[in-house]
Amino acid sequence: MGFKLCSWRPLSPLPGLTRRLPFCLQRPLFDVRALLCPALQRAGPRSLRRLQLSMTVLALEKGFAWPPFSRGGKNAGSRRRSGFLTLVLLVRSVPEGTEMFEVYGTPGVDIYICRSVDRGRERADTRRWHFDAGSEIIVVMNSPSNDLNDSHVQISYHSSRESLPLAYAVLYLTCVDISLDCDLNCEGRQDRSFVDKRQWVWGPGGYGAILLVNCDKDNLNCDERDNCDQHVHCLQDLEDMSVMVLRTQGPAALFDDHRLVLHTSSYDAQRARVFHACGPEDSCEAYRHVLGQDKLSYEVPRFHGDEEHFFVEGLSFPDAGFTGLISFHVTLLDDSNEDFSESPIFTDTVVFRVAPWIMTPSTLPPLEVYVCRVRNNTCFVDAVAELVRKAGCKLTICPQTENRNDRWIQDEMELGYIQAPHKTFPVVFDSPRNGELQDFPYKRILGPDFGYVTREPRDSSVSGLDSFGNLEVSPPVVANGKEYPLGRILFGGNLPGSSGRRVTRVVRDFLNAQKVQSPVELFVDWLAVGHVDEFLSFVPAPDGKGFRMLLASPSTCLRLFQEKRKWGHGRALLFQGVRGAQPVNTVSINQVLSNESLIGYNKFVQSCIDWNREVLKRELGLTEQDIIDIPQLFKTERRKAVAFFPDLVNMLVLGQHLGIPKPFGPVINGRCCLEEKVRSLLEPLGLHCTFIDDFSSYHMLHGEVHCGTNVRRQPFAFKWWNMVP
């Protein structure tokens, strides 16, 4: 319960002066001048400012007591009464000759005397108090009134020369408890009863309500996402919304001449929508759109007596210019005086934070794998299907009629999720690349409990870096003393301060605004395609930090080839056994090592990867023991780098099962030496390596296994609201 604090200051007390005022167990927000006697109005703005200052100081002395709230169960809507109503009666102007005063209240009204700040408060009793111009009478009420004007405070002014009071004043009180409640104590946080609902605090000791962007499509008969119109089309839609409850306790007669108004700002109205449950809960028509977009305020009818239920849906994710915080307010308006316009008595406020979109790293367990079937990749799809079977997850194949021979499903979308205490569901982030696959995320993936979001620049300034092969996320890390329990987003751009390709600003702004996976920009402009998945990936590990980062390494590959040549295998050939429509010339280890142009270019590539290596070590808190160098060579096309043989780090990670591009490396003693090297590096971690032939269907088109697949994974066990960004 909250509290209401008000002041009454009779400047010229007269015998029998009375005033009847409604008050609320809430924080103050009203114009004192409209409520008190005309004598108070003559005190002028300067005095009133002083009264309001006193009120604010007292209000901040106490916490706000808000009850735990849940959607259902025996504790749903439970209330713990620890709030109070406080009034401050400033004793200033009194009848001439006043030396003492007496004050008492009806049962349920506690009265304290504060004669100075230094001396503190004393409980009032039946004795008379010496008059001091600085005295304050503090009135405390702990519960709502049963009837109008059922409590009062009486003050009498006395002189030692008179047996009867010089004057007295009576203040009649009607106290109501009105609060706007929502779920503030999220899972994993401490149960905190005393919190300021106007604030949203991160961390396990924090508090604050959470709002989901209602970006899925629960009713398949609708063409748009659920939050694209002002209707509730099916009851399942309500599960994606957050509940807000308006509670009122006090005399019903008070609302004959007082109004409750729910309202928000025009800024917040563009980012959330509110529905009022006005009828049977099992009817979609009962949920009336009352706030959002063009609706900024709503006079609340009391359909259900003491409680009115509202359902709130998010319309926008955090982004540039939007922190994710949205406020709603309820204000009690006094319309009882025909001589004055209606005046606000108090306002209660709650703040929601829109849940961020969260990426999942390759180290989390897989749930579903996506792959496109095109005209020349049947064997590839079959190999992926077998790997998926071993990993025990679901396979979804996008048919050629839908992908129109666009096989790069990793580039088209990124699969993440959003989460609130009451609901978690996956959300696909559709990239701005807009290839032939551009309709697949919206038409095939968007559906019940599967949301959709996209960001596209207005000027259509999209480059290859805006494909989501250039968007990865690390496992959880600690770097520079800062914990990142949900990992850090990684995307590629150019060197700091240089000109070149970068991810479009609208995508960068969106990723940065989510706050919980602080992005790191790497250097990829040296690559022809320009994606981070061309030189790095993450695999699970049973020790250390729980993962290893794999980096493509030309120097490791050259050392391996030099070692094989030393042992007499210089004539062993790469690309033997490659099958496809285009013939591929074989090349021996000796030819590779004697190609000075190739060797020189790979030294340049190694320097670019080393630059990223140092950035990753610094920003992810990694050591050399956390990194595995995977042998890989690159060649130049139009002054940019492409993989010389299938890019081994561009792999599909499904738990302990790895789908790795088959490199067609030099075969020595019946085994590919590149495959053998990779196995020796990864199998000691308990990983199972399956090499998939993607040479003709993907590698020749400058992509690999990872580029041609996509994975929906389990969300993190860690709840995002428990972190401190």
Token digits of residue 226? 């659920």
DSSP designation for 572: -
The phi and psi torsions of 418 (rounded to 5 degrees) equal -125, 155
List, as one string, the DSSP characters of 516-554. Answer: TT--EEEE-TTBSS--GGGTEEEEE-SSTTSEEEEEEEH
DSSP designation for 234: S
Catalytic residues: 707
Spell out the residues 6+ positions from residue 415 whose beta carbon is closer than 8 angstroms to its own: 360, 426, 427, 428, 429, 710, 711, 712, 713
Burial class (CB in 10 A: 0-12, 13-18, 19+), 70: middle
Token digits of residue 634? 């690159």
- Residues 237, 233: Cα–Cα separation, whole Å: 7
- Residues 251, 242: Cα–Cα separation, whole Å: 29
Task: Tell me the three-class secondary structure of 380-411, residue by residue.
Answer: HHHHHHHHHHHHCCEEEEECHHHHCCCCCHHH
- Residues 472, 221: Cα–Cα separation, whole Å: 34
Helix axes 673-682, 554-566, angle to 10 degrees: 120
Q: Please identify which residue in the block is written with the tokens 């009105």.
A: 178
Q: Please identify which residue in the block is written with the tokens 């991810």.
A: 503
Sign of CA dihedral 476, 478, 479, 482: positive
Token digits of residue 627? 């990194």
- CA 138: distance to chain centroid? 42
- Residues 471, 372: Cα–Cα separation, whole Å: 20
Coil/strand/helix, residue 570: coil
Burial class (CB in 10 A: 0-12, 13-18, 19+), 604: middle
Spell out the residues 6+ positions from residue 569 whose beta carbon is closer than 8 angstroms to its own: 589, 666, 668, 673
- Residues 312, 240: Cα–Cα separation, whole Å: 9
